[in-house]
Structure 1
């Protein structure tokens, strides 16, 4: 690229010294990441065929997941699937295309049919991050806009390992649901039978529904957001027709756990899955302290022989630092503990570079 460029222009990275092609990407003039690299090594022609082949490659990675009773999945996981700044989630035939960088706007008209074809989608919805809303509007795109087919209801019911959930694909957070914890939710369902379960930072009740589906005796969904808990109740009723074994608690998690601890409450399974505590590098020390405090409050709530699932979705916090903090809390509690397993993203959230590994979870049995 010579001279001034616009967002989405192809930019070739070339070594004049070695007279060698290095890579090609999309120019992002207003971002700290000036070139969103699409391809490196040998030269390639960037066109709809290129994106179609890459999208089909991504679909193949999801084949095992899609062979299960699951029709809510991530088709394109940004940089990790070779689409930097672009995410596509699919909910029961509705493809939600979320744009995080303006580099994709010049390519959208060609990409939409490619995505629809790969997802076998009847409908496609455009979503965008706040930082690109103005650029989108200038091109006629509005967050939540239906850009292919028709959308009968913005609340789309999809399946996850045989259980049903609602994703609001027009106004919901991110693309409407958090899909990355799917495997962990299923695992909690396998561990929950006969137990009281506490789902801390429950949001829309993903863990709670799987725990109930696995035969939990009682599930408490704790979240500060009343609307999130309303969605959790809706998801429970959608699957079980009633909420007889399900309770919700709209309260600050730190306050609620301390109160439960003073009352002597215990649970056979406790899930601690907070939102990201660190969006920036300078917030990492505070995030680690928050993980320490919340897990210190959670440990006494785990009954002898019970399980703590401690999770983090803070990309800035390295896995080794997160687990070090959690395990220091467990040791300081004076209780004997055993690490059962550590997990990361589900199959539809592949990790293509170290920084892409944001999700980490540890299952601990406490005696």
Structure 2
């Protein structure tokens, strides 16, 4: 069996440094290991008193009994180094998703609990879905939204569980609209709003296909000062009239969002497709600033986990 000592040593070193950093920054959810050593292809996140342990599929072949022994040793090392109980380690195997929807159920129920981030609280579940309800890699951009939202009209497209809106609303946004097609995740967003004392009349949750929402909002003359759009790489939801392919469709989405953005407003556009390239025509139509490096938090070793841009109208 592979010697797991290097993995345990790296995990211990990371925790020693990052635990102080997380406490200093008011974070109960943070990454302690990010595939630091190729032979140990895991992403390990702390969520309060729980550990989210994700194994990434590398295509390696191991005999079943050897694999189970190796995995048990990994879990034992995580328990030993972190001091968490084995019952608090939530293992998830993340295989490459091709031609599927963004959010996949695991077949397990799990328990909902809350974590704190920069003074906001969020419901998470480490078992029920492939993702937990809070994307930790967007923490920096969430904070930027919260710090700049005072007095602004905010729009959150492909909102997932509404974490960007929580930051905007608690940061003083005068109004917001939170748009997604999933009832499950919008219900989750509503619970996040309630958890943070957000006024539902002032901050609306809208279930809609984003393409259709953009057309309707434009016809209705809606205007926003601050917009976040973080679409999935691909979706073939049956609720959508067509599939979403972010490389193919991003120019249309950006144009639609920019048609709602006030003249001095700001759009944050992000996605996590590794091969993504921004359309040259988009760069010519708008003022573009790539903030990908600054937007990935310090606890993520993988600085290519997403790409993020600030997009503004060009000065007339």
Band the TM-score falls in, shorter-chain normalisation: 0.7 to 0.9
Q: Does 1:54 align with 2:10?
A: yes
Aligned ranges 1:43-192 → 2 under 5 Å = 46-47=3-4, 49-60=5-16, 62=18, 63-78=20-35, 80=36, 82=38, 84-101=40-57, 105-122=68-85, 123-129=88-94, 144=108, 154-192=111-149
Question: So what's the TM-score if we normalise by structure 1?
Answer: 0.70
1:287 aligns with 246
Give the conservation status (yes or no) of the 8 Å contact 1:270–1:307.
Answer: yes
Cα offsets for 1:325-364 (capped at 9, x unmatched): 642342xxxxxx464845442122212xxxx613111123
Q: Using the TM superposition, name which of 201-210 and 241-250 deviates more.
A: 241-250
Distance (whole Å) between structure 1 residues aligned to residue 230 and residue 45 of structure 2: 21
Partner of residue 209, structure 1? 166
1:259 alignment counterpart: 216
Q: Residue 204 of structure 1: CA displacement?
A: 0.3
CA RMSD of aligned residues (A): 2.9
| Corresponding residue SS for 1:98 | strand
Matched, 1:200 2:157: yes
Cα pair distance change 1:210/1:109, threshold 3 Å: same
Partner in structure 2 of residue 345 of structure 1: 296
Q: Which runs of 5+ in 1 are unaligned?
A: 1-8, 11-45, 132-141, 146-152, 279-285, 331-336
Counterpart residue number, 2:102: none
Alpha carbons of 1:358 and 1:52: their partners in 2 closer, same or farther (altered >3 Å)? closer
Separation in structure 2 between the aligned mates of residue 294 and residue 265 of structure 1, nearest angstrom: 16
* 8 Å contact from structure 2 (residues 7, 37) kept in 1: no
TM-score (norm 2): 0.81
Q: Could you say which residue in structure 1 is the equivalent of 2:256?
A: 297
Question: How far apart are 1:51 and its partner, in Å?
Answer: 1.9
The 2-side partners of 1:105 and 1:345 are apart by: 33
Instruction: Indicate the structure (1 or 2) with the bigger Cα radius of gyration.
Output: 1
Q: In structure 2, the residue corresponding to 1:349 is in which secondary structure?
A: coil
C-alpha displacement of 1:68: 1.2
Is the Cα–Cα contact under 8 Å of residues 170 and 198 in structure 2 kept in the other structure?
A: no
1:268 Cα offset (Å):
0.7
Output one character per residue of 1:292-333: Cα deviation in whole Å (capped at 9) or x when no partner.
11001111111121111111211122xxx2274642342xxx
Q: Structure 1 residue 77: deviation in Å?
A: 1.8
- SS for the counterpart of 2:232 is coil
**Alpha-carbon distance in 2 for matches of 1:238, 1:313:** 28
In structure 2, how many angstroms separate the alpha carbons of the residues matched to 1:81 and 1:302? 43
Q: Distance in 1 between the 2:143 and 2:69 partners?
A: 39
In 1: Cα distance, 2:281 partner to 2:307 partner: 13
Query: Number of residues paired by the alignment?
Result: 287
Q: Aligned pair in 2 of structure 1 residues 58, 233: CA closer, same or farther (>3 Å)? A: same
Q: Which segments of 5 or more consecutive residues in structure 2 lack a partner in the other structure?
A: 97-105, 236-244
